[in-house]
Amino acid sequence: MDGFNAGSWLVHRHVAEGRGDRVAVRAGTTTLTYAGLSDQVAVATAGLRGLGLRRDDRVLFVTNDDVPMFTGILAAFCAGFVAVPVSTMLGARELGAIIADSGAVAVVAGAEYDLRLREALALAPGVRHLVCDGPQPLPAPPGVTSLTWQDLLAAGEKAPAALREPAGTVDDSWALWLYTSGTTGAPKGAMHRHANLRHVCETYGDRVLGIRPGDVCFSVAKLFFAYGIGNSMFFPLSAGAATLLEPRRSSPAVAAERLAADRPTLFFGVPTFYAALLAAGLPEDTFTSVRLATSAGEALPAPLQDRFTRRFGVEIIDGLGSTEALHIFLSNQPGDVRPGTTGRPVPGYDIELRDASGALVPDGRPGSLHVRGASLALGYWQRAEASGAVFAGGWLSTGDTYVRSPDGYYTCLGRSNDLLKAGGIWVSPVEVESRLLEHPQVEEAAVVGLADEHGLDKPVACVVAKGGVTAEELIQWCRDGLAAFKRPRRVIFLDGLPKTATGKIQRFKIRELLAKEAADE
């Protein structure tokens, strides 16, 4: 098998091919060319190796999007280690469980996560090294060495030159583990090969985004998400383009600031963030530098897509990806956007819709979406049963329900366990939510099934609205635009909808809220 190292391909290749003077990364006041990034990655590679780590050891990152995390992940690839970026929003016990499960021997952490990390490390006795992305080493348990990122780089500078060289990895070598709850259960580590990183660049990055060296990428999703690491690292570096890193929490104000200062050409968001941008009252010229925007994480409602494009003049292409597939495999294309759909398969991926028995369903009939492609994870780390249920015969069962039109466009009907029946007929929450969002006073909407007095599920809408619109008006609005049985039987107004760190609506929390309310009545 031929050698391939994703870190070297993403960074060192550009210097070797004469592109070292191009800007690679902008983060705050720091700007790195490809030559500067290559040097930092090589030094960090030597620094990590100097800790005594061995091939396939896991290096876990719990820090903000900035140069240390960015170069550290790339250095782990180059050194033949496994990078494990995890959410900075995890609680101490959740973090400790993932550190222990991954078997990480080194943790790179931001200073602001000190208190959580202390409790987490008590649950993960396998950790031997703690590296702080901050000015001072963090307190560490007995037997754990503690140093700063600058200490690690200083050691790398003094190390023998041979320690800077990329490891002789191959396509199938481990590179990146990303933790996800998948379709069910506790977080599981989806194991990605070095070749997977190249594949998403050659498919979605090249053939959908059309990314080129002059592009500047800005992603709302952070590096610890599969969506975010593709947007901010894999795609720009694969093309010799530039990326913007933002350590602060994503908000419309922060996004507007970076858009004005750094003039990105590609903007990557999620539906709830696009809604927040619209609600923030930003100037119409905020996105003048952006040639294309993307959306993923959950289905982008057509009304939201239309509002954004009409206000800011930027086309949004909606797509579907997953942690298990590393990035987007189903997408609209620039100049070929069908609002309300997730487009067509990204070149390089096969899509099938299957019924409960595993048989293919015809066009116009809902089915469970399965995907096949070269970027699928090898499986879940130490989860044989879950791997067998989700990865089978080279296909990934996504847990999403879709329907395909006769001309090949796919429409999301929701997660397979989100569909509900009303009057004995299946109802897609996404369809009802899309109708609600067409109302000018509705900012966000989520529809779930709630059992009535007869134990039958009926659609109930939770809505974030402005102005004095009433529940009765919104129910009538849905009745006017949908079949009557699809209308919500109740509308409940909320100040905000519960969401995951990626901006996905947490329907189970909405169900719990409604069930508690019903029990209290």
Q: Mean pLDDT for the chain?
A: 92
Q: Read off the pLDDT of each residue in 325-344 and give the average, rounded to a whole number.
A: 96
Q: What is the pLDDT of residue 58?
A: 98
Q: What is the pLDDT of residue 113?
A: 94
Q: Read off the pLDDT of each residue in 376-388 and give the average, rounded to a whole number.
A: 95
Collapsed DSSP state (helix, strand, coil) of residue 178: strand
Q: What is the pLDDT of residue 459?
A: 87
190-229, pLDDT tens digit by residue? Answer: 999 999 999 999 999 999 999 999 999 999 999 999 999 9
Find the angle CA(90)-CA(94)-CA(97) to the nearest 5 degrees: 140
108-126, pLDDT tens digit by residue? Answer: 999 999 999 999 999 999 9
Distance of CA 370 to the CA centre of its chain: 19
Residue with tokens 């819709």: 353
Beta-ladder partners of 373: 349
* In contact, 494 and 464? CB cutoff 8 Å: yes
Work out the pLDDT band at 183, boundaries 50, 70, 90: very low
Work out the pLDDT band at 264, boundaries 50, 70, 90: very high
Task: Tell me the whole-structure pTM to 2 decimals.
Answer: 0.85
Two structure tokens written together for 137: 């080493």
* In contact, 12 and 118? CB cutoff 8 Å: no
447-481, pLDDT tens digit by residue? Answer: 988 776 655 567 899 999 988 899 999 999 998 88
pLDDT at 363 exceeding the cut of 90: yes
As a whole number of angstroms, the distance between CA 268 and CA 209 comes to 11
Domains in the chain (CATH in brackets) are 6-22+30-170 (3.40.50.980), 189-415 (3.40.50.12780), 420-520 (3.30.300.30)
* In contact, 343 and 333? CB cutoff 8 Å: yes
290-303, pLDDT tens digit by residue? Answer: 999 999 988 888 98
**Which contacts (CB < 8 Å, 24+ apart) does range 435-441 have?**
435/477, 435/478, 435/481, 435/482, 436/461, 436/463, 436/474, 436/477, 436/478, 436/488, 437/301, 437/303, 437/304, 438/303, 438/477, 438/481, 439/465, 439/469, 439/474, 439/477, 441/465, 441/466, 441/467, 441/469
Distance of CA 509 to the CA centre of its chain: 21
407-447, pLDDT tens digit by residue? Answer: 999 998 877 767 775 655 667 788 889 889 999 999 999 99
Q: What is the pLDDT of residue 494?
A: 92
Closest CA to 107 of 135, 79, 86: 86
Q: What is the pLDDT of residue 503?
A: 73
Q: What is the pLDDT of residue 184?
A: 43
Collapsed DSSP state (helix, strand, coil) of residue 338: coil
Q: Ramachandran region of residue 70, left (φ > 0), alpha (ψ -120 to 50) or beta?
A: alpha
As a whole number of angstroms, the distance between CA 215 and CA 242 comes to 6
421-430, pLDDT tens digit by residue? Answer: 565 566 778 8
pLDDT at 182 exceeding the cut of 70: no
485-501, pLDDT tens digit by residue? Answer: 788 999 999 999 988 76
As a whole number of angstroms, the distance between CA 137 and CA 107 comes to 12
Q: Read off the pLDDT of each residue in 326-337 and give the average, rounded to a whole number.
A: 97
Q: What is the pLDDT of residue 453?
A: 61
Q: What is the pLDDT of residue 260?
A: 97
Q: What is the pLDDT of residue 484?
A: 78
Q: What is the pLDDT of residue 424?
A: 53
As a whole number of angstroms, the distance between CA 344 and CA 327 comes to 15
Q: What is the pLDDT of residue 423?
A: 52
As a whole number of angstroms, the distance between CA 267 and CA 278 comes to 15
Stretch among 141-145, 308-312, 429-433, 513-517 having the lowest mean pLDDT: 513-517
Two structure tokens written together for 56: 């396939």
* In contact, 60 and 99? CB cutoff 8 Å: yes
Decide: residue 424, CB within 10 A, 0-12 exposed, 13-18 middle, 19+ buried.
exposed
Two structure tokens written together for 497: 């909808």
Q: What is the pLDDT of residue 431?
A: 82
Work out the pLDDT band at 520, boundaries 50, 70, 90: low
Q: Read off the pLDDT of each residue in 18-44 and give the average, rounded to a whole number.
A: 97
DSSP strands (E only) in 106-154: 106-110, 129-133, 145-148
* In contact, 63 and 95? CB cutoff 8 Å: no
Q: What is the pLDDT of residue 91?
A: 84
* In contact, 120 and 95? CB cutoff 8 Å: yes
Percent of the chain's residues with pLDDT above 70 = 95
Work out the pLDDT band at 2, boundaries 50, 70, 90: confident
